[in-house]
Structure 1
């Protein structure tokens, strides 16, 4: 996994914003790079905020294509398919802030208390239940490792202490997280 340069990060933020604008019929669909780090196959999450409040967050760990293509698709999905929110409207564009989380490799977390707050995101799985929290979530909420694990379990629809049970899989991942404020 190649670390993203400031130029790559700016390009991904531009792709995310342009994809939302194109989805709303305000611009043409952005051209996507076919070489370099943005052409690598990586998962991504896109988070949208209006006036600092969460407005949508959608992502995937298993991309169907390049990082650029995944960011474009997840930006549109965050704006229109997050079941927690109504679709983003044209009137909100001037107040829309966005962030991208470019996913790193996933690893099994054998010592579950060894989660690195602010560096690791969590995936909790058991049966059909699955929940994921990005690395920044623990920091934003000032959670310790156990609280982070409990909330990942709850997001998966499991009991809060399911992470302590051997049949529950706990995985960690790193993500390069970066964002921009609304375009004025």
Structure 2
């Protein structure tokens, strides 16, 4: 699938920001995008990450979905603000302080551990009903090597660190990652905590 053009990225950031700011004010109906570009109608997984003063404030996403991409991004923006169980809901006066990053995913595929490329691949590790996911930018932020990335994804799934060596399924995906411009209130990533992802 070809990369999103710059105009499509700007549109996704715009509709996500609008959905977030309306959602924290109690608006529950997402606005339809008039005449969306074909790429924005494709059913693709996506995550929205919110940071405040560099600290993680919410991150919610869908790995795979049948909904149009722009709708998925809208839903994830609202959910990251209001439904991430690790944080209290974002208040209306807090929304302008949040910096938004969007990750648009490719379809996950099985991968051998030695084929994982740090900074390019995100990981999903599954065993039974347990599943953990970390986005491609996470190991770069935390300066992990490949084995640490695998171990941390196992921890995210609630599995032992070595589960990836003992039969757990390893899948990889890539992501187009883009964010609001630097003039937004928050820009630099925090080193205070791993931005663990809540999947739905």
Q: TM-score range by the shorter chain?
A: over 0.9
Residue of structure 1 equivalent to 2:163: 162
Residue of structure 2 equivalent to 1:138: 139
Residue of structure 2 equivalent to 1:52: 54
Check 1:34–1:7 CA distance in 2 against 1; reply closer, same or farther (3 A cut).
closer
Residue of structure 2 equivalent to 1:107: 109
Q: State the alpha-carbon separation in 2 of the partners of residues 127 and 74 from structure 1.
A: 26
- Determine helix, strand or coil for the equivalent of 1:105: coil
Residue of structure 1 equivalent to 2:10: 10
Runs of 5+ consecutive residues of structure 2 not aligned to the other structure = 186-200
- Maintained 8 Å contact 1:123/1:170: yes
Please state if 1:153 is matched with 2:143.
no
- How far off is 1:2 after superposition? 2.9
- Maintained 8 Å contact 2:24/2:81: no
Runs of 5+ consecutive residues of structure 1 not aligned to the other structure = none
Instruction: Provide Cα deviations, 1:124-172, integer angstroms capped at 9, x if missing partner.
Output: 0000100000000010000000000000000000001110012x00000
- How far off is 1:76 after superposition? 0.6
Q: Highest relative contact order (Cα 8 Å, sep 6+), 1 or 2?
A: 2
Q: State the alpha-carbon separation in 1 of the partners of residues 134 and 157 from structure 2.
A: 10
Residue of structure 1 equivalent to 2:23: 23
Q: Could you say what the CA RMSD is over the residues aligned between the two structures, in angstroms?
A: 1.7
Residue of structure 1 equivalent to 2:195: none
- TM-score of the superposition, structure 2-length normalised? 0.86
- Maintained 8 Å contact 1:95/1:182: no
